[in-house]
Amino acid sequence: MTVSSEQHIEGKRDVTFRVFRLNPQVDSKPYFDDYTIPVERGITVLRALNYIKENIDASVSYRVFCQAGICGSCGMRINGISKLACTTQVWDELPKCREAGIIKIEPLRNLPLLKDLIVDMDPLVGKMKHYRNWVESSMPEPEMGKKEFLVSEEEFSRYDKATDCILCASCVSECSILRANKEYVSPAVLLKSYRMNVDTRDSLHDVRLAELVQDHGVWDCTHCYRCQETCVKNIPIMEAIHGIREDAIECRGLKDTAGAKHAEAFMSDIEKKGKLVEATLPFRTNGVAWTVKNLLPMAVKMILKRRTPPPPPLVKSSKGMKQFREEFREMTEHVKDDHKTHNK
């Protein structure tokens, strides 16, 4: 930060923006253009792009609307991380440049590229439709408008934070599974699905859940936490993902998928004994990686909730067991941190 405080005093300097370019009408492959402009302290990346567009190259294309961090239009990758251009100060990015003084600007990943920094949002909207990301009111339409639902503070708080989502797709761009599988449900859609499922006014819970446990659904997530770390509104997306999984296990009749079946045995073990028994650990059949990504976070959460100390897995240690222990410790820290930051 010393660099930036010196610059604070200086107040103005030249900055190079290395911008990803592709116009599908003429370019067969993408390239980068460098624009070096004078920037004063207090300028956002978006304003810098506006300056470039107005004064140097009018063809640089990006989406922008509110300029206030609320419409979700201006998601792009700045120095490699997906975020909103309109809420990002150039000065804050300077210390993060890989090459000094050069800020790299690229489009979001995991959505089809249309031009320069513009990606197609339709696939995301398609998924919102597929997973029924709306409240299916338990009130019949002719009755609507006559009376309010009664919603307690506690019920409201279950979905309050999730409704902050502005569909900027930054989390989508950073999701590790989406890179490999474009059909994956997407973090933002999981978040919205969860928000609908915990709403007491909704009546579509089971249908939505049944879809979420299918292929490309909630069991595909690797728990890499990238989405949550990226979210421009600091929404605890992982809470939603854990929530859907716990829900899927608790819900009778939805257990028929492989994921849910193993999970149930594993979880009930913890529930009954407060500890893990190697004999029932599903990694024998599913491998360590699967167990870690799908079950551990939930198990840790349950244990933390109950305040029982994390139980040491019993029985003699094998190679798998050792790895499992390590992962277990790491995940406990992650989930604990999460609790600290996001618990009301």
296 binds ligand SF4, rule: CB under 6 A: no
Judged by beta carbon, residue 192 or residue 293, the one nearer another protein is 192
Instruction: Scan residues 77-106 and list those touching ligand FES (CB under 6 A).
Output: 84, 86
The CA-atom distances, in angstroms, between 150 and each of 153, 191, 200 are 10, 24, 9
Judged by beta carbon, residue 63 or residue 334, the one nearer ligand FES is 63
Judged by beta carbon, residue 187 or residue 297, the one nearer ligand FES is 187
107 binds ligand FES, rule: CB under 6 A: no
Q: Which stretch binds ligand SF4 (CB under 6 A): 54-62, 184-192, 294-302, 333-341?
A: 184-192
Q: What is the dihedral of CA 163, 164, 167, 173, to 10 degrees?
A: -120
187 contact choice in ligand FES, ligand SF4, another protein, none (CB below 5 to 8 Å, kind-dependent) = ligand SF4
Judged by beta carbon, residue 54 or residue 330, the one nearer ligand FES is 54
244 binds ligand FES, rule: CB under 6 A: no
The structure tokens listed for 121 are 């949002």
135 contact choice in ligand SF4, another protein, ligand FES, none (CB below 5 to 8 Å, kind-dependent) = another protein
Q: Which stretch binds ligand FES (CB under 6 A): 9-17, 72-80, 133-141, 244-252?
A: 72-80
Q: Which residue carries 């979001």 as its tokens? A: 108
Minimum distance of ligand FES from residue 75's CB (angstroms): 8
Judged by beta carbon, residue 166 or residue 237, the one nearer another protein is 166
Q: In what order do the strands lie in the sheet with 12-21?
A: 31-40, 12-21, 102-106, 75-78, 81-84
Alpha carbon distance 133, 20 (integer Å): 33
Instruction: Scan residues 41-70 and list those touching ligand FES (CB under 6 A).
Output: 64-67, 69-70
Question: Given candidates 104, 132, 161, 223, which one binds ligand SF4 under the rule CB under 6 A?
Answer: 223
The CA-atom distances, in angstroms, between 110 and each of 61, 71, 129, 317 are 19, 20, 18, 40
Judged by beta carbon, residue 226 or residue 245, the one nearer ligand SF4 is 226
Question: Given candidates 73, 110, 133, 230, which one binds ligand FES under the rule CB under 6 A?
Answer: 73
Which candidate, 201, 190, 203, 202, places its Cα nearest to that of 130?
A: 190
The structure tokens listed for 63 are 């989406």
70 binds another protein, rule: CB under 8 A: yes
Minimum distance of ligand FES from residue 16's CB (angstroms): 22
Q: Which stretch binds ligand SF4 (CB under 6 A): 136-144, 150-158, 169-177, 248-256?
A: 169-177
136 contact choice in another protein, ligand SF4, ligand FES, none (CB below 5 to 8 Å, kind-dependent) = another protein
Sign of CA dihedral 25, 113, 164, 97: negative
Give the DSSP letter of residue 148.
P
72 binds another protein, rule: CB under 8 A: yes
Q: What is the dihedral of CA 296, 299, 301, 302, to 10 degrees?
A: 180
263 contact choice in another protein, ligand SF4, ligand FES, none (CB below 5 to 8 Å, kind-dependent) = none
Which candidate, 241, 246, 238, 236, places its Cα nearest to that of 266?
A: 246
Q: Residue 312's CB: how many other CB atoms inside 10 A?
A: 9
End-to-end CA distance of the chain: 31
| Helix 296-306 and helix 258-273, axial crossing angle in degrees, nearest 10 | 30
**Bridge partner list, 15:** 37
Tell me if 56 sits within 8 A of 35, measured CB to CB: yes
Query: How many H helices and E strands in the chain?
Result: 16, 7
Binding site for ligand FES (CB under 6 A): 64-67, 69-74, 84, 86
Which chain residues interact with ligand SF4 by CB under 6 A? Answer: 165-171, 174-177, 187-188, 191, 221-227, 230-233, 235, 237
